[in-house]
Amino acid sequence: MKVLVTTDAVGGVWEYSVELARGLRAAGVEVVVASVGPPPSADQRAMFAATPSCTLIETDLPLDWLCADAAPVLAAGRAIAELASELSVDLIQLNMPTLAAAGPMPVPTIAVTHGCVATWWEAARPGTPLARDYRWHSALTAAALRNVERVVAPSAAYAAIVRRHYGLAEAPLAIHNGRTPLRAFDPAEPIADVALTVGRLWDGVKNAALLDRAAARLPIPFLAAGAARGPHGETIRLTHLRELGQLSADQIAGHLAKRPVFVSAASFEPFGLAVLEAAQAGCALVLADNPTFRELWGGAALFVPIGEDGWCTAIEGLILDPSRRHALGEAARSRAGRYTPAASAAAMLALYRDVLAARPPASKVAA
């Protein structure tokens, strides 16, 4: 089997694609990864260089949510269709679903919706109609999800959101993401009495402002890794969180190895790779009580109701109770064992086979 997978270098989709490519290669699948959007960094390219028999093509095609209108995205979709034909692939996995908006692809196609502008907007600005500047993106996504054989989401919670928002006949198939631990777990590593959050600090759905208020009342440092400025000029001013800026995977691994209390106040999260990385490191988790986190981490985390100001109490309670903090960290690490690249790749491969059985590529039929 030969598969074309699209990716981008802006967020967690890159890591997802690397992990998936490795898992598929281990199962004997030939993988070609086509990146769209801004060029990957040297470190990101090195991830693929370390993946045997996986081809990376940097297309220079645009990333949809960085575009001003539909035209360049539709053109990019046609270019991906041509690339698939040139490469004679059996199947396409689009990690940017809008690439299928122009019409069905030349071979069976799966779209993985890691998030979209419209569902993000719904969470970020509840009760407010989608801004006119983004409606074209919502329309392309709606068309694309109907032009592919199957739609996948990284959690059942987000699959339900996508089905409702786009009026799909059936919910996307939920296949949880997988992640290789950033560093081997070392129980001898001293535990630091700090709190840590990682993510797009500028993004309103991450609720960094709530955590900033909590940091003002905590007797321990509260560290925040991630960008405080977004791609469209969005900014947030944080007074009490100790900003670390954008960190490499190795730098984040160094912080997680000290098993801080890991915090995410996100009101909207299709999956949350940062939480998984923290759980793999044995961090106790304090999370927003949203459906995705309940699905993934129920029974292995403390939950704070969205919009409430109980973060300081939850974090400080764990700092003052080391045995509970240790037990919660071990519960998170045990639960993280479910979310492996091998499990994710196996589930995707099973889906590939089902889709190909229902619609074999034209070349296979002719043969």
User: What would the pLDDT profile of 39-56 be if each residue is shown by its tens digit?
Assistant: 998 888 988 888 777 899
How distant is the alpha carbon of residue 274 from its chain centre? 9
Cβ 207 vs Cβ 269: under 8 Å: no
240 within 8 A of 213, measured Cβ to Cβ: yes
Q: What is the mean pLDDT of residues 201-229?
A: 92
- Cα-based distances in Å from 129 to 116, 144, 234, 266, 295: 15, 21, 19, 21, 28
Instruction: Using the predicted structure, report yes or no on whether residue 167 has a pLDDT greater than 80.
Output: yes
- For residue 129, the tally of other CB atoms under 10 A from its CB is 9
Phi, psi values for residue 335, rounded to 5°: -65, -35
- Tell me the pLDDT band of 179, cut-offs 50, 70 and 90: very high
Which of 46-50, 63-67, 133-137, 178-182 shows the lowest mean pLDDT across its residues?
46-50
Q: What is the pLDDT of residue 363?
A: 53
- What is the reported pLDDT for 50? 82
Residue 168 pLDDT: 96
Answer whether residue 160 shows pLDDT above 60: yes
Say how far apart CA 218 and CA 211 lie, in whole Å. Answer: 10
Per-residue DSSP letters for 44-57? Answer: HHHHHHTSTTEEEE
Average pLDDT over residues 179-186: 92
pLDDT surpassing 70 at residue 279 = yes
Gap between the Cα atoms of 31 and 242, Å rounded: 41
Does pLDDT of 367 surpass 50?
A: no
pLDDT > 90? residue 71: yes
Average pLDDT over residues 244-262: 94
- Give the pLDDT confidence score for residue 362 in this predicted structure: 66
Q: What is the pLDDT of residues 301-341, one digit of tens each?
A: 999 998 777 999 999 999 999 999 999 999 999 999 999 99
Q: Is 88 left (phi over 0), alpha (psi -120 to 50) or beta?
A: left
The two three-digit tokens of residue 243, written as one number: 């900003």
Q: For the chain, give the mean pLDDT.
A: 93
- Cα–Cα distances (Å) from 1 to 198, 222, 305, 353, in that order, read 37, 48, 46, 9
Name 15's Cβ contacts closer than 8 Å, sequence gap at least 6: 47, 179, 273
Domains within the chain, CATH numbers bracketed: 2-179+340-366 (3.40.50.2000), 195-336 (3.40.50.2000)
pLDDT by residue (tens digit) across 73-131?
A: 999 999 999 999 999 999 999 999 999 999 999 999 999 999 999 999 999 898 999 99
Q: How confident is the model at residue 366 (pLDDT cuts 50, 70, 90)?
A: very low
Question: What per-residue confidence (pLDDT) applies to 48?
Answer: 85
Report for 21-25, 102-106, 297-301: range of highest mean pLDDT? 297-301
- For 13, counting Cβ atoms within 10 Å of its Cβ (0-12 exposed, 13-18 middle, 19+ buried), the class is buried
Q: Residue 131 and residue 234: Cα distance in Å, rounded?
A: 16
- Predicted confidence at residue 40, as pLDDT, reads 92
Q: Could you say which DSSP state residue 235 is in? A: B
Residue 36 has pLDDT above 50, yes or no: yes
Helix boundaries (H) for 206-340:
208-217, 249-256, 273-280, 291-297, 311-319, 322-336
